[in-house]
Amino acid sequence: MGTEGKDGKDTVVIVGAGLAGAKAAEALREEGFTGSIVLIGAEGEPPYERPPLSKDYLLGNADRASTAVHDPGWYTGNDVELLLGTAAVDIHRDTRDVELADGRRVRYTHLLLTTGASPRRLSVPGAELDGVHYLRELGDSERLRDALRAGGPVAVVGAGWIGLEVAAAARQYGCDVTVVEPQDAPLLATLGPELGGYFADVHRRHGVRILTGCRPNALIGSGRVVGISTDAGEEIEAGTVVVGIGVKPNTALARGGGLTVDNGIVVDEYLRTADPTIAAAGDVASAFHPFYERHVRVEHWAGALNAGPAAARSLIGRGRPYDELPFFYTDQYDIGMEFIGLLEPGRPYTVVTRGAREDDAFHAFWLADDQVVAGLHVNMWDDGIEPAKQLIRSRAAVDPARLADPSVPLGAVAR
């Protein structure tokens, strides 16, 4: 394949066949791009969405086909070439080609990196025992689902979103569940102690044992895991251990190609690297955010959904500054939650709650200098997340008492 695509047309190569990459290919065709599109993925699966892997797919409430980004025929119908089951191992910027693990080279006019992130590995004795699970790919979810269906005690290391969603699924399969979290509350870096404590209470109500302020110092077993030893001196029985201690961006390809990497591939507000022929989007990108006036890396589904197309448009000269606010959601038991905004770890915030937290139906807002910087709702679907988004965007000073009063419309809480 030459630098020019079919019939002498441009070629956009997308490395990373996940949601961001697949939606980028879709956006190119919607924008009328008629050149070649090549989508390269290390996994053998066509692009799929990852949120169901810890939610409905893990619970057996959704089939494999429902996770797909596009129907199988979409790629051939839109002349998108899929190169699956082979990793890209190097970028040759001088000749504008991408080298694959099997030795092939794919030439590009423009290159989009949507290489995502990989789970951080647990580094303690016994971490390689059978029965230890990480959750990132379809096969991971299927193996974990089989283990949960088989029953037995489950230990979850890490009380982040993945860990808590897996804990909820395990309880719904009837497993005894213990969560081990080194911080003083679940989701501490994401939501802070007050709302992290709320989610801890939700899980305790459903029979999950939450151990905070401790970490595993070894996994116990011979061949297969049978438990966890913690640094608090406790041994926890567990035939299945799920590790959810965060992810790290897959930057090796970019770094090898001489691109700037700093907590992700560094890109501007158009999601372009310093090389004008290369852009990056999704979990792997550290993008300059016009609203926050600094670089931000977002690891959530909405970032991939929205940034992939935005980067694709920038590559063909139709981009605009990307300023979507960080957004994520979770489903646990009968809790549906949406969050928007950005919290800085260690910064003090005032948290204002509006509604009945004890009834699992409320809004929460994080204030800094009386401005709303983040918000969430739990099961408040009539209002949803849009009022919080508008308050963040406005940067208006709000009256905390009016914000907390459900009788005051959210559009009337500004001072």
Backbone φ and ψ for 368, nearest 5 degrees, come out as -130, 120
- Tell me the percentage of the chain whose pLDDT exceeds 90: 94
Q: Give span(s): CATH 3.50.50.60, the chain.
A: 6-118+248-315, 132-245
At 126-151, the pLDDT tens digits run 999 999 999 999 999 999 999 999 99
The pLDDT, as a whole number, for residue 219 is: 98
Could you tell me what percentage of the chain is helix, strand and coil, using 3-state DSSP and rounding each to the nearest 5?
Answer: 30, 30, 40
Band (pLDDT 50/70/90 cuts) for residue 5 is very low
Q: Residue 376: name the closest of 195, 113, 189 by CA.
A: 195
Q: Give span(s): CATH 3.30.390.30, the chain.
A: 334-412
CATH superfamily of 132-245: FAD/NAD(P)-binding domain (3.50.50.60)
Cβ–Cβ < 8 Å for 186, 352:
no
What fold, for 334-412?
Enolase-like; domain 1 (3.30.390)
Burial of residue 321 (CB within 10 Å: 0-12, 13-18, 19+) is middle
The pLDDT, as a whole number, for residue 200 is: 97
Backbone φ and ψ for 163, nearest 5 degrees, come out as -60, -45
C-alpha dist (Å) from residue 396 to 353, 371, 391:
18, 6, 7
Burial of residue 224 (CB within 10 Å: 0-12, 13-18, 19+) is exposed
The pLDDT, as a whole number, for residue 8 is: 56
Residues 6+ apart with CB under 8 A from 329: 51, 301, 336, 337, 338, 339
At 198-257, the pLDDT tens digits run 999 999 999 999 999 999 999 999 999 999 999 999 999 999 999 999 999 999 999 999
Is it the case that residue 2 has pLDDT exceeding 50? Answer: no
- Residue 238 tokens read as 């567990």
State which H helix or E strand residue 307 sits in.
helix 301-315
Q: Residue 309: name the closest of 18, 17, 73, 22 by CA.
A: 22
Is it the case that residue 6 has pLDDT exceeding 60? Answer: no
pLDDT (mean) for 367-378: 97
What fold, for 6-118+248-315?
FAD/NAD(P)-binding domain (3.50.50)
Residue with token string 């490395």: 15
Residue with token string 């394949």: 1
Q: How far is Cα 143 from Cα 58, in angstroms, rounded to an integer?
A: 9
Band (pLDDT 50/70/90 cuts) for residue 347 is confident
CA atoms within 13 A on the CB side of 399: 11
Of 152 and 9, the structure prediction assigns the larger pLDDT to 152
The pLDDT, as a whole number, for residue 3 is: 33
Band (pLDDT 50/70/90 cuts) for residue 186 is very high
Q: Residue 200: name the closest of 222, 167, 237 by CA.
A: 167
Residue with token string 């700093």: 262
